[in-house]
Structure 1
Amino acid sequence: MRKLIPDLAILAALILLAAFFRAYRLDELPPGLHYDEAFKAVTAERLLAGGERPIFFRENMTEEPMAIYAASLSFAIFGASPWALRIVSALVGILGVAALYALARALFASRLIAALAALVLAILYWHVNFSRLGMEPIFAPTMMTLCMFFLWRGWNKSNAQSLSPRVTRHASLDFVLAGIFLAATQYTYKAALVFPFFIFTFLIFEILARKNDWKELTRPLALFALAALLGFAPLGLYFAQHPAEFLERPTSVVLNAAGVATILDNTLKVGGMFFLRGDANPRSNLPDRPALDPFLAILFLIGMLACARSWRDARARLIWLWFGVQLLPSILSDFAPHFGRSIGATPALALIVAWGIASLKRKAESTKPHAPYLLFTVYCLLATGFAFSAFSTYRDYFQVWGARTGNFDSFDVGVLELAQKLRAQSNAERIFLSPLAREHYTIQFGLNGRAAESFDGRRALVIAPNATYGIITREDSRTLARLAQIFPNGAITARIFDFAAQPYAAIFRAAGAANIAPQKNLDARVGDVAQVIGYDLARDGNALALTIYWRARAESREDFTVFAHLVDSREQVIAQDDAPPGHQSYPTSRWRADEIVMDDYRFVLPESLARGEYRVEIGMYILETGARLIVTDANGARMENDRVLLERISLP
C-alpha cells in the first residue's frame, strides 16, 4: 500500500488540475446550449420520462447511446440544465486524464512519464474544450485509454519491456475488461469506428514479432475477443438490421470519390493542425488555434523522433499506430482539420510528448560530468514550459475564446434565452415562434414541455387571440412590424440582445381585436379546411407578391399543398409557387379553428412575358394524388376547376 502513496498523490494533483480546467465556470462557458448538445438533453429528458430506451438513436443523423444515457443519469441527480449535461463530459475528461496516467504507468513503469503524459492531457486545450461540451466526442478517448490500459496490463502484467504474458486470473480479467472497453468505444462516437482496426493491426504485428511463442497468447486473446464481441453484440445486431442508419453520419461526411490530391491535401491540413492552423469551428477550438502551443509542439516533435528511433519497441509501435489511425477520420472526411473526429488521437499525442521528455532526460543523464546541471536545467525549462502551456490554455479558453461575441451564435444563446422567456408566459396564451421551427432542439429544451407553434414569418403570419410571439428579429425583420399594425394595442414585452449589444429577438404580446385588412376581400371555402377571406397582390420588381388570407375552418390531420398559379387568357400556367402554407413552416395539420393565416407567395415573371391580361388562381390539393380540394363560393356553389380566380391584371 505504501508503494501506491506516491502514485495516488500524483494522481490526486493531476485530477485536481484537470478538474479545474474542465469544471471552472462550467455554468458560464460555454454559454447557451448548442443544437447538438440540446438534442442530447432533450433525448435524455425523454428517457427519464419513461420513453423508449433504444440501443441507437436515429434522430439528429443518428447518435451513439453512451453520452445520452449518461446525461439522463446526470439529469436524474442534478435536474435538467446545460451544466448538468456538461458536467458529464467534464467528469469523463477527468477520468481520461486519470486513465492515461494508469496506462503510461503500465507502459513505462515510470511515475515521471506517467505524470507528464497525464499533465499534457490535463492542460491540452483540445481535450479541455471537448471536456466542457455536452457532446459525445470526449467519451471516445477515455474509453480507448481504458481499453489500452487493461490490454497492455494483461499482455504484460508487470514488465513493460517484455512481451511474455503472465496468464493468471488477474491477467485474464484484464483481457476481459480490455474487451469490454473496446466494445464500449463503439457506443461513444463515430470516429471510434476505426479504433478496432488499430487494435487488430497492433496485435497482428506483435503476434508476428513473437514468432515461435505466439500460441500461448491464444487463450487470453480469445477472452479479449469474446468480451469485445459480447459487449458489441447489442449494437452490432442493430447494425446488421439497419446498416444504412448506422452509417448515415459517416457516409454524409466522408470524402466520396476523393482523389489522391484531395486526401493528400487533407493529410497536410491535419498534419499542420498541430503547429500552424487548427480547427476553425468555434465549438471545437479557438478558431484556427493550433492544437499545440509552441512549448508542447517542440516536445511533440522530439517525442515523434524518439518514437521513430525506437520502432523496435512495442510501446513505440502502439503509440504510433494509435496516433495515426485516429487521425484517419479527419483525413478522410470534409472540413479537415476536424478536432472532434480526431480527438481519439489525444491520449497518444500526450504519450508522444511524454516520451520526448523522457528522451531528453536520458540524454541529460548520460552527459557526464555535467549531468546534474543539465538535469536541473531541463527540469527548470520543463516547469517553465508547462506553466506557460497551462497559462496559454487558460488564457485562450477563458479569456480569449470566452470573450468572443460570436459564441452567442455558435452556442444558440439567444435561442435558449428566447425559449426560456416564452416558457414563463401564462399557460392561457398560445406561443408562436418565428422563423425558427419549434422542433429545434434548443427551443425544445428551453420550453421544457411548454406547448408552442412556429412559422416562418418571412413567408407567413399566424394571427390568433391571446397569443405571444417570440421573433428572432435578426433573421425575421418583417413579423414584428406586421404584428404592430394588426394588433395596435399589443406590445413588445421583452427584447434580447446579442453579446455585441445588437438586437437579436423580441417578444410581442397580442392584445385587443386584430385589425385584418386585406386589399381585396373574398369569401370562398376550400374543402373543410379553410376559407379564403381576402388577398393582397402587388408588383415586386420582376415578380408578383401575393398574400392569401386564410381562415381555418376546422382542425385537420392532413397536410395540404397550396397552389398559386399565374395563368394567361388561354389558362396556361405562366408562373407558379406551390407549397404547403408558410412554405412548409405552418402546414394545415397545425391549424386551429378560426385563426387567420397570412400566407405569402411570389411569382417570378418570365423575361419574355407577352403583354396582356393575366389572372392568379389559388386553391389546395393533396400532394400524393394531385387531387384538388373542393372549392365553393359564399352560397355553397362549387367553383370551376376547384380554384379561386383573383382579379385580372395587366402585365408586364
Structure 2
Amino acid sequence: MRAFLRRRLPFGPLFLLLVVAAAFRLWQIGAIPPGLFGDEAVDGLDALDVLAGRGGVFFPANYGREGLHMYLVALSFLLFGVNEFAVRFPSIAAGLITVLMTYWLGRELLRRTDLEGTPVPLLAAGWLATSFWHVHFSRFGVRGVFTPLMTTLAFWAFWRGINRRDWRWLAGAGLALGVNLYFYTAARLVPVFLGLYIAVEWWINGRRGRPSILRRFPGGILAMYGIAGLVFIPLFRYFIQHPGSFTARASEVFVGNPRVNSGNPVMKSFLALFANTLQFFIAGLGDRDWFYNLPGRPVFDLVTGALAIVGVIYLIQRWRRRRYLFLLLWWPIMMIPTFLAVDRIPALPRALGVLPGLYFFPAIGAWQVAQWVESRATPRNRRVALLAALAGPLVFHATVNWWAYFVSWGRSQGAFEAFDGDVVAAAHWLKRHEPDRLAYISADIYRHPSFMLLYEEVPLTEFFEQYDPRLRWFDARQAMLMPPPEGAIYLLGNSAMPDRERLDRLLPVMTPLAIMKSPGGDPGLEVYRVDKGAPPPRTQGLPGQGLPRLIGYGIVGEARPGGTAEVMLYWEVSDPPEDASPVDAPTVQIVVEDARRTPRGIWAGPFPYRYGEWHAGDVVVTWHQVSIGQDAPLGPYTVRVRMDHPGMVEARLSPGGPAPDFPLPQIIPAEFSAGLQLLDIQMRPAIGDPARVIVDLVWRFTRPPEKSYTLFLHLLNEAGELVAQADTIPVAGLFPTDAWPLGEPVRDQIEVALPPGAPAGQYTIALGWYDWRTGERLSLLDEAGQPMTDRIELSITLTP
C-alpha cells in the first residue's frame, strides 16, 4: 500500500491541494475580511512612503515594525492600485507558498525515517491549507504570515543541505533566516531555536557515540549563521543607531512590565503558558479577539486535536531520533513569545512561529490511525479503508474551518467592527459620490488610517501635514459638529454612532443618502445630508467676545445630590493655535457649585474636538456627565465652564434662582395646583435672533413643595400645531422645585426657538407644569381655586 501511495502522490494530490488552498485564500476576498484593519492600513501607509522614496529597513510608527513587508505591499500597489486587495495580496501569496513548501519540507525532514515515503508531508500541507488560523492570516495584510513562510524555507534548505551533504543549501538556509528577521519580531527566535536544536542533538548523539549534525557539518553550520548575520547587518546597524527600537514593541507587552503583569510576573507567565497551550485544544479557550479568531475557538477541531496527540505520542516514543526531535522542539520553543508577552492571553499571532511544524502532529497521527485501520480491513477493502482514514479527518477539518471562517466569522458583526468596516465603507462612498459640500465623518479613531489609505492615499510621514479642506473628523459619541449655512454631508459609522435621541434633537431634519447594513443587520454606515441643525436650548447670559467661545448650552435632567447632570455646551471655535499639534485639544473644566460657590461636582478632560479640525466659525456641541457629591445641598446650583485656551472667557451658567427682593404683585397673574403661583411673566424676542423667544418668569410655592416638577413651554402656530418646545426642570435643571424655599420668589428663564424653515407670523406660547414621573399635568386654577385648564397661553409675533 505504501508503494501505491508513493506512486500516486507526486503531482495530482499536490495540485488539488494547492487549488483548495487557493480557494480558501481567495474566495470572497473582496468581502472577507469585511473592511481593513488599522494595522493593515498603517503598513499600507508606510508602503506609500516606500513609493515616495522614503523607505527604510525599519519603520518606527506603531511601536516599530521591520520593513520588508512594506516593500512587498508597495510593489502590490504598483500592480493593483491602492486598495484592500493590494494590501493583502502579499499575505495571500505567502500563505500559498507556505502550503507548498510545507510539503517539500516534510519530504526533506522525514528522509531516512520510518515516515519517509508516506503521505505525512501532504497531509501536513493539507491541514495547513485548510487551517482557520493560517487561512485568516493569509487573508490579513499584516507581517505575521511571513514568519511561517520564511521559517519553512529556512528549515527546508537546512534539511536539504543535511540530506545532500551540501553546505550551499545550508548557506541558503542562512539567507532565509536573515531575511526572516526583516518581517516580524517573533522571527528573532527562529535562529535561536535552530541553534538550540543543533546543540541538543549534538549532546544526545555525542553521549551515544554517534556523529551529530554539528560534528558532520561544522563548516555548513558556520556558513549558515554567518550569512544570516551578514543579511541582518543593515537592520542591526539601525538598532545600534536607534537602540530603543529593538525592544520598543516587545517592552510594551513584556511580562516584566508592571503595567501588564498584575504585580506578579512569574504567575502571569505561568498563566500565559497554560492558556496559550490550552487554546490549541479546548473549545472556549481560544484567542478571544475578533481581529484574529472566532472568539474562543481552539486551533484544533476535536478530530484534529486527537490526531495531534497521537502524533506527539508517536514522536515522544522516538525522541532520540534527530528528525523527530526537531519536530518535538519546534512547538515549545517557538511558543516562548506567548509566555513572555502577556498583555493578551491567549494570543494567536505570537504563536505563528509554530507553523507549519504544528500540523505535522495530526498528519503523523492520521497516518498511524490509517495504518491501524488498514491492518484490520479485509484485503478487498484495504485500499478504500486506508484512503478514507487519511482523507476523512482532513475533509472534516476543511469543512469545519470553511464554515467557521466564511460563515460564522466572515459574516459576523464582530468581524465587521474589528476590521473597521464602517470607516472603509465611508471611504468608498466618498470616492464614488464626491459630494459638493463639506463631509463630516464620525469615527472612533481620529483620521482613521484605513480611511486615510483608501481615500486620501497619503504616506504615513505626511499623515498630519496633508489636509483635505472638504473633510471634518469628529466622534459623535462625544461631540456633534453642526452644519454650516450651506449644509454638510454626515457619515456616521457604527463605531462612533451617537445616541439616537440626541442625534434627533441636534439634527432634527436629516435627508438619508445611504444606509449600509452591517452583517449583524444593524446600520454599519449612515449617510445624511443636513442643511440646518437645531438651535441651542439656551443662549442668554454668556460671554459674547473672543473665539473660541460658548454660544449656547442646555442641561438634561436635573441636578441633585448623588446624581449626575448632563451639561450640553455649544462652542464656536477659532482657528487652531499655530504651534498646536493636530492631535491635541485644549482642556475643558466644568464645575457645579452650590449657592455658596462651593464645588460639588467637577468634570475635566480634553475638548472632544481636536485642533486639527478647528476652523474659525465652526460650531461644535459637546456633552459632559458631571457627578454631584452625595453630601451636596439640594440646589440651587451654578455651572462654571472654562477652556484652557488663549482668549477663552470663563462662563457661568445660572439662568435664575432665588429672588427674595422681588416685589410681590397686588394681583397674582396665575396659580397652578400644588401651590405654584406665577408672580410675573415677560416675553421678548432675543437680541440678534428674532426667531428665539425669551420668557422670564417668577414663581413661588404657597405651600411646602412635595416633589420636583417639570415646566413645559410649547410654541404653537396659528393652527394650534406644535412647532417647538422646551421642557425643563426650573433654572435649566439646576434648581428643582422640591428645593424651593416656601413662599420665596424664584426667577427662571426659558428660551424657545423656531425650527429651521418655520415662517414668520403670529405664534402662541403655552406653558404649564407636569410630574415627569407620571406625565400628569398640574391644573391652572380660577379665582375660586377650581381647575380650568392645564396651561397659560400668550400670543407673540416672530419674524425669523
CA pair 387-604 structure 1, distance change in 2 beyond 3 A? closer
CA separation of 1:505 and 1:363: change in aligned 2, threshold 3 A: closer
Which residue in 1 is equivalent to 2:346?
A: 337
Contact 2:536 2:552 in 1 (8 A): no
Percentage of pairs with the same residue = 26
Matches within 5 A, 1:134-213: 134-154=141-161, 156-158=162-164, 166=165, 171-209=166-204, 211=206
* Counterpart secondary structure, 1:17: helix
Specify the alignment match of 2:604 in structure 1. 578
The aligned length equals 612
SS of 1:562 mapped into structure 2? strand
How far residue 12 of structure 1 moved from its aligned partner, in angstroms, is 3.2
1:475 corresponds to: 497
1:113 lines up with 2:120 in the alignment: yes
RMSD: 3.4
Match runs of 1:24-39 below 5 Å? 24-39=27-42
**Partners in 2 of 1:552 and 1:261 — Cα distance?**
51
Alignment correspondent of 1:420: 428
* Whole-Å separation in 2 of the counterparts to 1:531 and 1:259: 50
TM-superposed deviation, 1:457: 2.6
Shift of residue 81, structure 1, vs aligned partner = 2.0
Distance in 1 between residues matched to 2:30 and 2:273, nearest whole Å: 37
Indicate the residue corresponding to 1:635 in structure 2.
none
Shift of 1:589: 4.8
Conserved 8 A contact 2:590-2:641: yes
Q: Given the superposition, is the C-alpha separation of residues 215 and 402 from structure 1 closer, same or farther in structure 2, using an over 3 Å criterion? A: closer
1:616 and 1:647 in contact (8 A); partners too? yes
What amino acid maps onto 2:481 in structure 1?
A: V
Q: Find the partner of 1:72 among 71, 74, 79.
A: 74
* 2:765 paired residue number: none
1:397-438: CA deviations, max 9, x gaps? 334434434333233223321332234454542221225333
Q: Which whole-Å CA distance do the structure 1 matches of 2:575 and 2:279 have between them?
A: 58
Superposed counterparts of 1:416-455, under 5 Å: 416-426=424-434, 428-449=436-457, 452-455=471-474
- Is structure 2 residue 359 aligned with structure 1 residue 350? yes
Contact 1:562 1:578 in 2 (8 A): yes
Note closer, same or farther for the CA distance 1:127–1:580 as it changes in structure 2 (3 Å cut): closer
Q: Conserved in 2, the CA contact under 8 Å of 1:615 and 1:649? A: no
Aligned equivalent of 1:626 = none
| Residues 570 and 552 of structure 1, relative CA distance in 2, 3 Å threshold | same
Question: Mean alpha-carbon deviation: is it higher for 239-248 or for 407-416?
Answer: 239-248
User: What secondary structure does 1:138 align onto?
Assistant: helix
Cα 1:228–1:569 shift into 2, 3 Å:
same
Is residue 272 from structure 1 mapped to residue 284 from structure 2 by the alignment? no
**In structure 2, do the counterparts of structure 1 residues 414 and 455 end up closer, same or farther at CA, with 3 Å as the change threshold?**
closer
What's the offset of the Cα at 1:476? 1.0
1:375–1:304 Cα change, 3 Å: farther
Alignment of structure 1 residues 618-637 onto 2, 5 Å: 618-621=641-644, 629-630=646-647
Contact residue 443 and residue 473 of structure 2 kept, 8 A: yes
Secondary structure of the structure 2 residue equivalent to 1:525? coil
| 1:610-649 equivalences in 2 (<5 Å) | 610=633, 615-621=638-644, 629-630=646-647, 643-647=650-654
Q: Which runs of 5+ in 2 are unaligned?
A: 1-5, 256-260, 458-467, 658-734, 740-800
Distance 1:241 1:608, change over 3 A: farther
The structure in which a higher percent of residues are strand is 2
Could you say if the C-alpha distance between residues 295 and 646 of structure 1 is closer, same or farther in structure 2, counting changes exceeding 3 Å? closer
Change (3 A) 1:188 1:649: farther
Q: Residue 510 in 1 paired to residue 533 in 2?
A: no
Q: Secondary structure at the match of 1:275?
A: coil
Supply the distance in 1 between the matched residues of 2:417 and 2:533 (Cα, whole angstroms): 36
Amino acid in the other structure paired with 2:281: F
Q: Are the counterparts in 2 of residues 432 and 470 from structure 1 also a CA contact under 8 Å?
A: yes
Q: Which runs of 5+ in 1 are unaligned?
A: 159-165, 623-628, 632-641
Identify if the C-alpha distance between structure 1 residues 540 and 56 changes in structure 2 by more than 3 Å, giving closer, same or farther: farther
Does the 8 Å CA contact 2:512/2:529 hold for their aligned counterparts? yes
- Provide the rounded CA distance (Å) in 2 between the counterparts of 1:649 and 1:233: 74
1:1-16 matches, within 5 Å, as 7=10, 11-16=14-19
Contact 1:361 1:375 in 2 (8 A): no
1:551 equivalent to 2:572? Answer yes
Task: Identify the residue that residue 398 of structure 2 maps to in structure 1.
Answer: 390
Corresponding residue for residue 639 of structure 1: none
Within a 5 Å distance, the mapping from 1:257-268 to structure 2 comes to: 258=264, 262-268=268-274
Structure with bigger RCO (C-alpha 8 Å, 6+ apart): 1
For 2:694, the equivalent position in structure 1 comes to none
Query: CA shift at 1:140, angstroms?
Result: 1.0
User: CA deviation digits over 1:466-517, x for unaligned, max 9?
Assistant: 42221236731256324434xx5x5232222222322344222232687456
Cα distance in 2 for residues equivalent to 1:467 and 1:186: 48
Task: Compare the two structures and name the one with the higher helix fraction.
Answer: 1
User: Could you say if the C-alpha distance between residues 534 and 218 of structure 1 is closer, same or farther in structure 2, counting changes exceeding 3 Å?
Assistant: same
Match of 1:532 in 2: 550
For 2:28, give the aligned amino acid. Answer: R
Residues 291-310 of structure 1 aligned to structure 2 (within 5 Å): 291-310=299-318
Matched, 1:250 2:250: yes
- Structure 1 residues 391 and 615: CA distance shift in structure 2, 3 A: closer
Deviation at 1:523, TM superposition (A): 4.2
Letter in 1 for 2:554: D
Q: Does the 8 Å contact 1:23/1:87 carry over to 2?
A: no
